[in-house]
């Protein structure tokens, strides 16, 4: 169990490029207890000015937000040089996880549910885009990372936008260097690659890609290589929605294609215009979405019940959502759980070596219930099946054992910087396994992996697999792509 300020960690949910996320609790007088999602900057980034600035930029920005479709931040601090954020903890999974489950079942999300999810995403985005500073000045917020992994769906039917870790805003201390790409390539707007101004209409393009994929089950621009993906985005000529799904209404199809216009001036002027165009038919209610989620992703939600029991509970089967829960002498590897937090930890960090705590209209008449907890769908790191707390001590059979004082044996220290990065893609999409442990679905970008030799397995939606050996060099990026026939 680790402590950060007044919070004690109960279980580690996930880790990514900037930090790791824990279920944590704060206690107080009168048997007060509050559970939160605690995001902590990774140890080897705590002295990197860029990452510290980005971490606190997100904290300052999200702290200004109060909206039922955006995760909420409660507290911020620093312990032993590591910045942390306390956010609401919500029973939810990422939209990426829901899409994955539908893909395995060969199902399409009913259109009323899709419209409700679109409503939540675009209402949250409209609020963020309109955010103003203390003097009423526009902050010019651009999320820049709208993807299925950064949209959460709760068991109450709430839809929550997360991860403002690379958002652009006038109050940010960190400034992205010109020409430096941020975000997942297949969701970026064409102007990102051409050096044009990236503004709120760029977020609408990314939202259009996310909703196109949700409705059709097909990524409109993802190709076998980054170069081909970039070229497809720049052309912005996705397949016709109705050619991929016959029951899509004309208004919904037209709205999606307009959102994916190559020129920003041809898109909708703002998020609410896009929302109104998409809602050309029945919109589900929040309870309907919550019940649908429980049926499709029920196994990924058990981690919340487990974490509420505190340390010592077991983790769920592998997959991409449940969180790993700490046990005294064993650290189970759980899938990624939706658990609330901001900056999708991006993609890095070897923190699992460092500690025993270890780690996925519906325009309703009334807005969905505000989340009681924030959620995050970070890209989880592989965790060893067994992490001994002390080396084994075995005395020779005939040797007498003397009782004498001795210092407690500490776990061997591991250099947290011995990590490289994996970028992996597949066409069509696939689940990625590293040395037999599930990572995430493609595409993966700069995913942190311990340096050394590993085996990657790509598993397509129809069960086919492709195996690739890979060698990860410390600090380097290894790129692996596969094409399924």
What's the pLDDT score for residue 12?
85
Distance, C-alpha 308 to centroid of its chain: 21
d(CA 368, CA 325): 29
Provide, rounded to the nearest whole percent, the portion of the chain with pLDDT above 90. Answer: 40
444-450 sheet: strands from edge to edge: 444-450, 419-427, 477-483
The answer to whether 345 touches 16, Cβ cutoff 8 Å, is yes
**pLDDT level of residue 214 (50, 70, 90 thresholds):** very high
Greater pLDDT, 397 or 62: 62
pLDDT at 255 over 70: yes
Mean pLDDT of the chain: 76
Vertex 59: Cα angle to 54 and 62 (nearest 5)? 115
β-pairing verdict for 32-41 and 82-87: antiparallel
The answer to whether 343 touches 51, Cβ cutoff 8 Å, is no
pLDDT at 70 over 90: yes
For CATH 1.10.510.10, the residue range(s) in the chain are 95-145+167-172+182-288
Backbone φ, ψ for residue 479 (5° rounding): -110, 125
**pLDDT level of residue 13 (50, 70, 90 thresholds):** confident
Residues 6+ apart with CB under 8 A from 229: 185, 186, 221, 222, 223, 425
Q: What is the mean pLDDT of residues 177-189?
A: 70
- Per-residue tokens: 72: 């909420």
The answer to whether 160 touches 375, Cβ cutoff 8 Å, is yes
**pLDDT level of residue 411 (50, 70, 90 thresholds):** very low
The answer to whether 387 touches 356, Cβ cutoff 8 Å, is yes
407 burial (CB, 10 Å; 0-12 / 13-18 / 19+) is exposed
At 83 the three-state DSSP class reads: strand
d(CA 26, CA 10): 11
Greater pLDDT, 54 or 148: 148
92-94 sheet: strands from edge to edge: 92-94, 151-154, 159-161
Q: Which CATH architecture has domain 3-91+290-353?
A: 2-Layer Sandwich (3.30)
Q: What is the mean pLDDT of residues 165-186?
A: 63
What's the pLDDT score for residue 304?
52
- Per-residue tokens: 373: 């907890």
Backbone φ, ψ for residue 115 (5° rounding): -65, -35
pLDDT at 277 over 80: yes
Per-residue pLDDT reduced to its tens digit, 415-464: 334 667 788 888 888 888 999 888 777 877 667 778 889 999 999 888 89
Which residue stretches of 134-265 are H helix? 191-194, 200-216, 226-235, 241-244, 250-259
d(CA 111, CA 211): 11
Q: What is the DSSP letter of 231?
A: H
At 150 the three-state DSSP class reads: helix
Greater pLDDT, 167 or 81: 81
d(CA 332, CA 232): 40
- Find where tokens 């996705």 sit: 238
- Per-residue tokens: 315: 């983790």
Q: Which residues pair with 164 in a beta bridge?
A: none
**pLDDT level of residue 202 (50, 70, 90 thresholds):** very high
Residues 6+ apart with CB under 8 A from 286: 116, 156, 157, 158, 362, 364, 368, 369
Least confident of 90-104, 178-192, 388-402: 388-402
- Per-residue tokens: 29: 């007088």
What's the pLDDT score for residue 244?
95
Q: What is the mean pLDDT of residues 97-106?
A: 92
d(CA 95, CA 383): 24
**pLDDT level of residue 18 (50, 70, 90 thresholds):** confident
Q: What is the mean pLDDT of residues 44-48?
A: 83
The answer to whether 358 touches 31, Cβ cutoff 8 Å, is no
pLDDT at 11 over 80: yes
The string over 149-182, giving b where at least 16 C-beta atoms fall within 10 Å of a residue's C-beta and e elsewhere, is bbbbbbbbbbbbbbbbbbbbbeebebeeeeeeee
d(CA 77, CA 284): 40
* Cα dihedral sign, 182-477-20-417: negative
**pLDDT level of residue 154 (50, 70, 90 thresholds):** very high
Fold of 419-483: Immunoglobulin-like (2.60.40)
Whether 145 is catalytic is: yes
What's the pLDDT score for residue 211?
98
Least confident of 44-53, 189-198, 251-260, 268-277: 44-53
* Cα dihedral sign, 178-182-184-187: negative
* Active-site annotation holder among 57, 80, 145, 385: 145
- Please give the CATH number for the structural domain made up of 95-145+167-172+182-288: 1.10.510.10
**pLDDT level of residue 17 (50, 70, 90 thresholds):** low
195 burial (CB, 10 Å; 0-12 / 13-18 / 19+) is exposed
What's the pLDDT score for residue 261?
96
- Predicted model pTM: 0.63
For CATH 2.60.40.10, the residue range(s) in the chain are 419-483
Most confident of 91-100, 211-220, 339-348: 211-220
Per-residue pLDDT reduced to its tens digit, 300-350: 665 555 454 433 222 222 333 333 322 323 333 333 333 443 333 333 333
pLDDT at 176 over 90: no
Per-residue pLDDT reduced to its tens digit, 370-396: 433 343 333 333 333 333 333 333 333
d(CA 260, CA 209): 7
d(CA 5, CA 96): 32
For CATH 3.30.200.20, the residue range(s) in the chain are 3-91+290-353
370 burial (CB, 10 Å; 0-12 / 13-18 / 19+) is middle
Q: What is the mean pLDDT of residues 338-364?
A: 33
């Amino acid at each position: 169990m680790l402590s950060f300020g007044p919070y004690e960690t109960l279980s580690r949910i996930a880790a990514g490029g900037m930090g790791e996320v824990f279920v944590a609790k704060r206690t107080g007088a009168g048997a007060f207890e509050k559970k939160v999602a605690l995001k902590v900057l990774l140890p080897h980034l705590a002295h990197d000015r860029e990452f510290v600035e980005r971490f606190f930029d997100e904290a300052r920005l999200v702290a200004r937000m109060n909206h039922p479709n955006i995760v909420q931040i409660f507290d911020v601090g620093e312990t032993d040089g590591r910045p942390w954020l306390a956010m609401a903890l919500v029973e939810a999974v990422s939209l990426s996880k829901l899409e994955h489950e539908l893909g395995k079942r060969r199902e399409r999300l009913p259109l009323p549910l899709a419209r409700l999810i679109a409503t939540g995403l675009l209402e949250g985005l409209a609020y963020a885009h309109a955010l103003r500073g203390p003097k009423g000045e526009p902050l010019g917020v651009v999320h820049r990372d709208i993807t299925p992994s950064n949209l959460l769906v709760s068991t109450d039917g709430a839809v929550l936008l997360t991860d403002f870790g690379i958002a652009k805003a006038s109050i940010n201390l960190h400034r992205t260097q010109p020409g430096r790409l941020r975000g997942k390539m297949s969701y970026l707007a064409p102007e990102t690659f051409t050096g044009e101004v990236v503004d709120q209409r760029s977020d609408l393009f990314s939202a259009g890609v996310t909703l196109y994929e949700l409705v059709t089950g097909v990524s409109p621009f993802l190709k076998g290589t980054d170069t081909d993906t970039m070229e497809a985005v720049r052309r912005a000529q996705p397949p016709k929605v109705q050619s991929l799904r016959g029951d899509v209404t004309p208004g919904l199809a037209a709205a999606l294609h307009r959102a994916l216009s190559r020129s920003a001036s041809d898109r909708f002027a703002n998020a609410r215009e896009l929302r109104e165009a998409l809602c050309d038919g029945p919109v589900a209610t929040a309870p309907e979405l919550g019940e649908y989620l429980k049926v499709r992703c029920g196994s990924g939600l058990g981690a919340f019940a487990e974490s509420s029991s505190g340390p010592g509970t077991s983790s769920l089967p592998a997959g991409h959502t449940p969180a790993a829960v700490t046990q005294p002498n064993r650290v189970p590897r759980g899938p990624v759980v939706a658990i609330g937090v901001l900056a999708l930890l991006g993609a890095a960090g070897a923190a699992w070596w460092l500690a025993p705590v270890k780690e996925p209209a519906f325009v309703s008449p009334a807005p969905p219930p505000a989340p009681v907890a924030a959620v995050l769908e970070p890209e989880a790191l592989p965790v060893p099946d067994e992490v001994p707390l002390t080396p084994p001590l075995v005395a020779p059979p005939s040797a007498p054992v003397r009782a004498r004082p001795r210092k407690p044996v500490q776990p061997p220290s591991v250099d947290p910087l011995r990590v490289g990065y994996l970028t992996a893609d597949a066409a069509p999409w696939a689940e990625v396994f590293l040395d037999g442990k599930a990572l995430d679905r493609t595409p993966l970008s700069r995913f942190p992996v311990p340096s050394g030799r590993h085996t990657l397995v790509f598993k397509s939606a129809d069960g086919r697999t492709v195996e690739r050996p890979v060698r990860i060099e410390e600090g380097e990026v290894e790129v692996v792509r596969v094409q399924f026939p």
